[in-house]
Structure 1
């Protein structure tokens, strides 16, 4: 019996040592270590300049352009930096995956939310950092067209007017706002990025007003009781060029914000977990749900738009949570919260369905995230292999030309009736004809509606470590988070008879080897010189 105890101890000794090592690591864990970041306790939040002291900012302004002129009189040549940014140009030259370079951006890319800005610039440009962007003839080279206040206002009172080409609402006190400016905060960025698509959290699913004052359960980085980080803490900015990519508009794996710029690529003090980072994005485990507070839009059906009430007026119907379930001007919506992401391989390269591209797949892929398990090593397309990413997929049904087999950019907005704007005239044919003519593109005179899909990689609403995914969430045969990624073998999830038979065979052979060794020791123990010596000594 003692021999069996000794054998069992020898077999389980490595497991015991491993457990002790891991326990020691956890006891000595110094906490999260970050680099290239100034912690909240060490920040200097006191403004370096008191703008209320500048006479030029206290004099009456003739208009918003005069505010910019006053800003540039001190911050000279800053307009040259701003005019090189995609925030200003609403486009950048990027290489489409497998195709040539193209000027891509909010100016011309279509989506499956409000479709696109062309023909409706006067209202859509409330989210542009300029004044007077009312149509495609906007002057991008005029410095005083820049709106400094929308990004630098610290009063919370600045806002753009509706249908006003990006000009401030008449209620804004330009002197008050211009004398109370500073570095952009979450509210400055959020006024556009939280409200894209026509409402709070409509588009992204992980960017919404709840982040302005949230707890650690919603986002560990922006939590008020935590680091209370601003967008620019991660989206590092140099000469007004902000790091980061939105793959609803971008296509190249450049200038991206990554977790390892602060946390490194080995943040866990655990080799097994750190090795996951080779093929699994940090966000995959640390963003187990999105739309944690307010709902996000998951489906938008334009084909049902156009119903009017008994008086011939547009209407909207809310759901039980107060979200728009139906709007005459936009159609039918489906919302959700605490959504489990879908998971895709992604290498930072994307493609887009341009308005000039022929439709060759249904659902139409409005943007395509490139990547696969085989995208590694010599097959690698970018400077890093593909990783598994959490993604919001927004699905919809939108207008297209069934003869030309292209998507349609309808004219949606106008102040007046009779100009072809769908939200005013409710005539899809007139809206299509007007919108496509505005772009100088053909329209056959026929329209229909087609299913579409759009992909939004998630990076916000990061959960505390204790709420991140556990091994069993993926490595399981039932309801694995990664059940749709079938191009690789995942232990615990997949049933590969060859691999499992090989493993069982090795275990069986190892057991036979141990038993044979044990039997030989028992049979031949009398012949062992050491045993004979010990037994002779006992006599």
Structure 2
């Protein structure tokens, strides 16, 4: 090798083949040392960090400033839930008023862009269809007591607010399924004839041990939307109460142990993050209190706009939403989610003239005389759509085309739109009743014991059920009904997998990859593109040939120098 500056050859011929080998070895050694140093530093940080399993209790101790068991107002006895609320309000004087300003209370929401009147009391879905006339069953997931009908509930009465449904820490407080938001106050069997007896909760004990909201309290409703565990969302079910890290890296108790409110931040009981107004992209980036929007209900609010070490992967963030790669499948915690609900087959009886059910062996009904046919799936690959955050709903009174598939909601956005990203969705499909005379979706009266209820004394009479349901919504029913196929898009944002289980490049950049159904843009490797592919491969071949020729000339030149 040449040492010092004297006699140095021209730069074009500075290194012989042996020199390149030596340089390569030195570079490899340097990289190995750097990698070892980084690993050692990380290991030292981990060793010094507190145990993740002890963090929650330490945090609870640090943030709790009151021992509710010492408050005489909470000693009880309490005969009803509203009595507990009255006791709570003696100290938390503004809490009920704050709750009454939220969508959790009103079940009504006016979309700021579309102007549509949404919320559970207004929308139509393809699960249990609608809340109208079915209040006592639906409001078992309301944050209040006593919403039994369309007109009789006092939304202004503060004692009607249910404090403990969100703040119970005992795990023993449960609203009775048909109690209009109340728990049971005496032992009661449900479902009828099942032998399962619901016991009244110890309201005084629950009141004296209240605490912050948790995965369990939020999940008491949100895990069971649509009438059962894992039915509705796909990415929310009872397995998310204590998920493994493989199921959700954020919520795993032996990991970060996030509660729902860690991301869905609150102020005055207003919870951020909404399926009615979704942020398809959060350009504000990492949330800085006082300088941003004070919510962490987006991936970007913690991870920023350039979250990856690999610059090429970051190149995707302007077109691909984070969950698209980081939630490779949903319903993967061991619970199947409902993917199809066909109301048109409801009403069948067995040979004895009785209603019946058929199961799948895993605890799920695949047929129920009261509800029709179901299809359940686990480990579901999402469907992908362009999405800019705006969702328009097909509402009661909107004209539909019954000859095709009717969208319950329609997503805004598309390729080339800087506000759009490719998002993952659960697409719930099914068949539901519609008014065949006016071509609008129908609202049936399902729950109750009266002669018009589909599940009651008017057993399985669609005409009666639809007539009463439509009347309750002040919509005229033509007297003729049919069934129409519908689909409902649910954004997937939970069940975030560990990063080493995120989608690989070839998951999308391949023929028949995950994004094969999306059009309007070019994606390398996704398929053959005729002359464009030929030209591209020609340039690649010529480039490779040029490299080889250049290398050959370098070798020959080096030999001549000898």
- TM band (smaller chain): 0.7 to 0.9
Q: Mapping of 1:66-465 within 5 angstroms? A: 66-95=83-112, 100-137=114-151, 138-170=153-185, 171-247=200-276, 250=277, 257-292=297-332, 293-360=334-401, 362-376=404-418, 385-414=419-448, 416-425=449-458, 426-465=460-499
Aligned-partner Cα distance in 2 for 1:518–1:258: 49
Aligned-partner Cα distance in 1 for 2:335–2:495: 12
Aligned-partner Cα distance in 1 for 2:351–2:406: 36
Q: How far does residue 512 in structure 1 lie from its aligned partner after superposition? A: 6.8
For the residue of structure 1 that corresponds to 2:90, the secondary structure is: helix
For the residue of structure 2 that corresponds to 1:204, the secondary structure is: coil
Q: How far does residue 505 in structure 1 lie from its aligned partner after superposition? A: 3.8
Query: Residue 25 of structure 1 contacts residue 269 of structure 1 at CA under 8 Å; is this kept in 2?
Result: no
Q: How far does residue 256 in structure 1 lie from its aligned partner after superposition? A: 7.6
Aligned-partner Cα distance in 1 for 2:79–2:250: 41
Cα 1:83–1:271 shift into 2, 3 Å:
same
Q: How far does residue 276 in structure 1 lie from its aligned partner after superposition? A: 1.6
- Structure 1: which 5+ residue stretches go unaligned? 377-384, 526-530
Measured against aligned partners, the alpha-carbon deviations of 1:253-302 in whole angstroms (never above 9, x if no partner) come to 79781112222222222211222222111111111111111111010000
Q: How far does residue 251 in structure 1 lie from its aligned partner after superposition? A: 6.8
Q: How far does residue 498 in structure 1 lie from its aligned partner after superposition? A: 4.1
Query: Residue 263 of structure 2 contacts residue 296 of structure 2 at CA under 8 Å; is this kept in 1?
Result: no
> Which residue of the partner structure matches residue 528 of structure 1?
none
Aligned-partner Cα distance in 1 for 2:146–2:301: 38
Measured against aligned partners, the alpha-carbon deviations of 1:100-136 in whole angstroms (never above 9, x if no partner) come to 4132101111110110111010111000000110111
Aligned-partner Cα distance in 1 for 2:437–2:480: 7
Aligned-partner Cα distance in 2 for 1:457–1:27: 41
Cα 1:6–1:487 shift into 2, 3 Å:
farther
Output the TM-score relative to the length of structure 1. Answer: 0.85
- Structure 2: which 5+ residue stretches go unaligned? 1-12, 46-50, 186-199, 283-294
Aligned-residue Cα RMSD (Å) equals 3.3
> Which residue of the partner structure matches residue 502 of structure 1?
535
Cα 1:367–1:521 shift into 2, 3 Å:
closer
Measured against aligned partners, the alpha-carbon deviations of 1:471-527 in whole angstroms (never above 9, x if no partner) come to 1111112x311111122111111322343333234345546766887999999x9xx
Aligned-partner Cα distance in 1 for 2:358–2:434: 26
Measured against aligned partners, the alpha-carbon deviations of 1:205-230 in whole angstroms (never above 9, x if no partner) come to 11111112221111111212212221
Report how many residues are paired: 504
Cα 1:399–1:511 shift into 2, 3 Å:
closer
For the residue of structure 1 that corresponds to 2:245, the secondary structure is: coil
**Pairing partner for 1:470 from 477, 501, 504:** 504
Cα 1:482–1:518 shift into 2, 3 Å:
closer
Query: Residue 296 of structure 2 contacts residue 302 of structure 2 at CA under 8 Å; is this kept in 1?
Result: no
Q: How far does residue 62 in structure 1 lie from its aligned partner after superposition? A: 4.7
Aligned-partner Cα distance in 2 for 1:256–1:111: 28
Aligned-partner Cα distance in 2 for 1:111–1:363: 14
